[in-house]
Structure 1
Amino acid sequence: MKRSIPTLFVAFLGFLNIISCTKDDPISKGFITPGTSQSISLEAGAASSEFVFSTNSNWTARASESWLSVSPSSGGAGENIKLKVSAGENTQYETRSATVTISAGEATLTLTVQQASKKGFEISQASFSIGKDGGNVNIPVKANVSYTCTVSESAKSWLSVTQLKSLTDYTIVLSASKNETYDARTGTVTIAYENQTSTITVTQSQNEEIIVTQKEFEINSKGGELRIPVTTNIEYECSVMDGAQEWITISQSQTRGLEEYSIVLQVAENVGYTGRVGQIKVTGVGKESFITIIQGGNIRITDLGDDFYLHSSGRVIATHYKGRNNDDLLRLIYSKFEDEFDFAFYVYEDDSYFIGGGYSTLMNNIKGIGREIEGNSIYNHNLYAEKLFGTILFGGYQEFNPEIIKHELCHTWANYLRSTYQLIGEQEHEIFAHWGFSDVNGMLGGFDKKTFTANIEGNPKWYHAPNINYSETWDAQGATMGIEDKTYAPLELYLMGLISAEEVPDVTFYSGLSNIPDSRFSLADGYFAAEKSETWSIEDIIERFGAREPAYPNTQKEFRILTVILTKEAREIQDTEWELVDNMLLKMSYAGKDDDNSSLNFWEATLGKATLKVDELDKILK
């Protein structure tokens, strides 16, 4: 008994020691130390990547999505443990994301995994029909690549591509001429990208006695009843073509001939965010006609608070300016969005607040352009908008156009080099921020030196600039007429940081302006007299103001835009208003040559050297 007591006592002390150790045991809490990046990017094909980590405890790993797997899924403590993260081929045309959570004791570590989208395009409908009178055929295409569209040789005489946009969800528009024959005809259109091709078949009906005066109808996303007038001298039947039977139904179809009737359709609500196209076929005694129904996508508006609303496209927000100045608007905007914007576009509902377009500068961080380095705090717009160069105002939807957008954006960098001169009527005016009577020939004015002529009638002080003859009087802001199809001038591109100094030619400025005292040479036709001409080289500019810093090519090439529709009072924005602004942003941000030959987008105007980013506002909400 005397020996057993110490033994029990020692065991009891050991038990207490175990309890004490367990209470503060770091292994039970665990730690995980990453050895590689916690962000993993995978290619679109079947792909895998390794993540390395260390831990002092048993661990498990699990993926948040079924398309993603991890191996091994569990293990013991160790250093430089390799976890294989794998995904099968992404067959979708959108990037997909998932997470992997590693747990060790109480510790967790999350990996983010992104797999690239499949490159290519997707067509939901492979055959289309059109009546004998011809018209447009709309082919919806979903794509994330630049594709080609080719009409078959045998159909080129009657079928052509009139509208094509790639690198986005869009509708290819085919135009078919009238079929004067009594035989149906078929053509094909091949859409191709690398090894992927799809063939669309277009069938046009023959000359017929079924008369449908309107063959294309549009209806909004809410759907509803649609009446289609038909005049015919034969009995006819109606049917909904494949691809549209789930959302278009025929509730009334007359079958007697020699009279006018209405086909009544019921169109279901489109809950998706993209539009859709369906067709109704009207047939009788071997004759047929096709009616196209175009339904818009569902517009979803997100309430951001404070009467701010975000459009589902992610490109436009809307609010009102009642009782709010620019400071108020910026404060509210930056309470909702991260400081990611270079410019804010204010699109007013009409010109009652502002007329035309205007640039309001907030900040300059560029040397060598004639401006001082200035932070937003100087303008009392401090703290919340450090990146914002300025706001651009558009006095009504009609002013929100390519010409004014490109012009006002240019004021971020020009003209701060010198004052210039403008002849208005009989009076010379000194002007600022524009090129005036010069041969800069850019977004802020000036002549085209290729067509500019000196020494009119043998007088060395008489000149002719025929490219600016759009008005009886010169524009007071610096001869800026007719710029919608211009590219930025070399001097402007240099100041914007998009070309080197060596690429800028000499420019000449004219002053001492007056009208030529000869009725044959009017100012309205571009004729003027000047007592003085002064030529500046790029070396002169650098000597006066210093070289541009930052210098090309280490300069900003993409500019992020926030676009705001502003109304006088808080009210609901109509679909047409959203669409008008959204479509303009799509055009101006398109990184390539578009089909609108009447005006150039920003990428075209900068000779493919810069772009505007206008979308994904929802991704930078606070």
Structure 2
Amino acid sequence: MNHNSTAILRISASFCMLALIYSALLSGCTNVYVLPDARIIQHFKTFVVMDTSKTDFGANESRVIALCREFYRHYEDEFDLLVLMAHNPYKIMDQWEIGRRATMSVVRNTELGTGSSVIDVGKTFGSEHRLRGVVSLVHPDRIFAESLLLHEILHLWYTDLEVIPRVMSSHWGFSSVGGQLGGFQRDQLRSLGDGKYSAGNFAPQRARTSVPYSPLEMYLAGWIPPEEVPDIWVAEDGSWLMHDKSGEERQHQTDENGNKIFTASRISTWSIDQIITKLGPRTPNFEQSQKEFRVAFVLVTDSRVSIQESELEATELFIEQFTKKGPVSAWFKDRTRETIHNFWEATRGIATLEVGELWSYRR
């Protein structure tokens, strides 16, 4: 089974599970589907700590729902986004699934002309009117590490609809979109002949290094006009060129600069006008779209290992820097020793996250 098929199966399974839970909860048949227990045990300025039997919510939609419902027992429905972070003191990055360190559950979408269908299952999650999505992170440091939170937030506008032809669901694949959801920069694309290409150090499904949102991503989110989106080069059937070594795993073939080579036989160029024809105009447009988002963070523990004060302080620092209305502090960048962007930087200062005094929204 190829990567694209696996991704589609995961998405289909998630929607089926959500539909099952939603139907059971609406029918009042608590004996049909019982949600796991969860309870808030600490309240802080920018996040809360919640206890549940397992921190497997990244691969368990029912636990995500249980955590959200517990949150809304204590807080008003005034948040666009909830971010669940596993208390993972030993940093076991594959505790959910191999390679799966973050997920997005799209809860509510009323916008048209994006890569996400209209949906509203908010009541299942405990939200009557506002919650748009729930991000699950395998560790609080993933707020910045691997740009996972920036990546997952963008999935609010690109989940199940095809924006451009691609080989993997809800990601940009082998294209020149070059954003948080994958792809490369057009100026790095090289034709090597015989249907072979290289395009620098990129990944089809994520940003290899922290980058701002690309113009197409910014357009889908409603933050820039369509005129600012350049044409996009697309390898519709792109795949990595691999070779076998005797007694070893298959390896990527690379060019003389060490960049991976991919092959493609179907190449197309997509303009923003073609994308709008396909999806319909973005509604609301960039002038009227939402640009301020209120977010709440939840640190989830199973209480088997006590949370240290240093972990609470680090979590607060990650949240503070990510939601800052301005660049990430220089001293914080020096501490992380890698290129990072917070939400304000990734959106060119056009959109912001509000975290504020969480206690002011207590019921």
- Alignment TM-score > 0.5, same fold: yes
CA 528–445 in structure 1, closer or farther in 2 if over 3 Å, else same: same
Q: How does 1:314-393 map to 2 (within 5 A)?
A: 314-322=45-53, 325-350=63-88, 351=92, 352-353=95-96, 355-376=100-121, 381=124, 384-393=127-136
Q: How does 1:160-175 map to 2 (within 5 A)?
A: none
CA 366–520 in structure 1, closer or farther in 2 if over 3 Å, else same: closer
Inter-partner Cα distance in structure 1 for 2:41 and 2:344:
30
State whether residues 144 and 322 of structure 2, in contact with CA within 8 Å, keep that contact through their aligned partners in structure 1: no
User: Which has the larger share of strand?
Assistant: 1
CA 376–386 in structure 1, closer or farther in 2 if over 3 Å, else same: farther
Out of 534, 540, 553, the residue aligned to residue 274 of structure 2 is 540
TM-score normalised per structure 2 = 0.74
Match of residue 498 from structure 1: 223
Out of 139, 159, 175, the residue aligned to residue 438 of structure 1 is 175
CA 333–525 in structure 1, closer or farther in 2 if over 3 Å, else same: same
Q: How does 1:45-444 map to 2 (within 5 A)?
A: 306-311=39-44, 314-322=45-53, 325-350=63-88, 351=92, 352-353=95-96, 355-376=100-121, 381=124, 384-401=127-144, 403-414=147-158, 416-418=161-163, 421=166, 430-444=167-181
Match of residue 480 from structure 1: 206
Instruction: Give the drift of 1:347.
Output: 0.5
Inter-partner Cα distance in structure 1 for 2:70 and 2:127:
10
Letter in 2 for 1:437: F
Inter-partner Cα distance in structure 2 for 1:552 and 1:322:
43
State whether residues 420 and 431 of structure 1, in contact with CA within 8 Å, keep that contact through their aligned partners in structure 2: no
CA 568–382 in structure 1, closer or farther in 2 if over 3 Å, else same: closer
State whether residues 439 and 448 of structure 1, in contact with CA within 8 Å, keep that contact through their aligned partners in structure 2: yes
Cα offsets for 1:367-397 (capped at 9, x unmatched)? 00133211125xx616634211111111123
State whether residues 359 and 391 of structure 1, in contact with CA within 8 Å, keep that contact through their aligned partners in structure 2: yes
CA 384–601 in structure 1, closer or farther in 2 if over 3 Å, else same: closer
Inter-partner Cα distance in structure 1 for 2:215 and 2:238:
25
State whether residues 420 and 437 of structure 1, in contact with CA within 8 Å, keep that contact through their aligned partners in structure 2: no
Inter-partner Cα distance in structure 1 for 2:314 and 2:348:
26
Match of residue 531 from structure 1: 265
State whether residues 319 and 570 of structure 1, in contact with CA within 8 Å, keep that contact through their aligned partners in structure 2: no
Which secondary structure does the structure 1 equivalent of 2:263 belong to?
strand
Instruction: Give the drift of 1:549.
Output: 0.7
Inter-partner Cα distance in structure 1 for 2:141 and 2:205:
21
Structure whose alpha-carbon radius of gyration is higher? 1
Q: How many residues align?
A: 294
Instruction: Give the drift of 1:398.
Output: 4.0
**Unpaired segments of 5 or more residues in structure 1?**
1-304, 422-429, 469-474
TM-score normalised per structure 1 = 0.44
Instruction: Give the drift of 1:481.
Output: 4.3
Inter-partner Cα distance in structure 2 for 1:508 and 1:498:
22
Match of residue 233 from structure 2: 508
Report the aligned-residue RMSD.
2.7
State whether residues 116 and 158 of structure 2, in contact with CA within 8 Å, keep that contact through their aligned partners in structure 1: no
Cα offsets for 1:51-91 (capped at 9, x unmatched)? xxxxxxxxxxxxxxxxxxxxxxxxxxxxxxxxxxxxxxxxx
Structure with more relative contact order (C-alpha pairs < 8 Å, separation 6 or more): 2
State whether residues 348 and 396 of structure 1, in contact with CA within 8 Å, keep that contact through their aligned partners in structure 2: yes
Q: Percent identity?
A: 28
CA 318–522 in structure 1, closer or farther in 2 if over 3 Å, else same: farther
State whether residues 419 and 431 of structure 1, in contact with CA within 8 Å, keep that contact through their aligned partners in structure 2: no
Which secondary structure does the structure 2 equivalent of 1:540 belong to?
helix
Instruction: Give the drift of 1:577.
Output: 1.4
Inter-partner Cα distance in structure 1 for 2:312 and 2:323:
16
Out of 344, 347, 356, the residue aligned to residue 603 of structure 1 is 344
Instruction: Give the drift of 1:570.
Output: 7.6
Inter-partner Cα distance in structure 2 for 1:584 and 1:525:
32
Instruction: Give the drift of 1:408.
Output: 0.7
Deviates more, 1:593-602 or 1:540-549: 593-602
Inter-partner Cα distance in structure 2 for 1:538 and 1:308:
48
Cα offsets for 1:184-226 (capped at 9, x unmatched)? xxxxxxxxxxxxxxxxxxxxxxxxxxxxxxxxxxxxxxxxxxx
Cα offsets for 1:514-546 (capped at 9, x unmatched)? 528996638962222210112111111111111
State whether residues 183 and 207 of structure 2, in contact with CA within 8 Å, keep that contact through their aligned partners in structure 1: no
**Unpaired segments of 5 or more residues in structure 2?**
1-37, 55-61, 244-251
Letter in 2 for 1:407: H
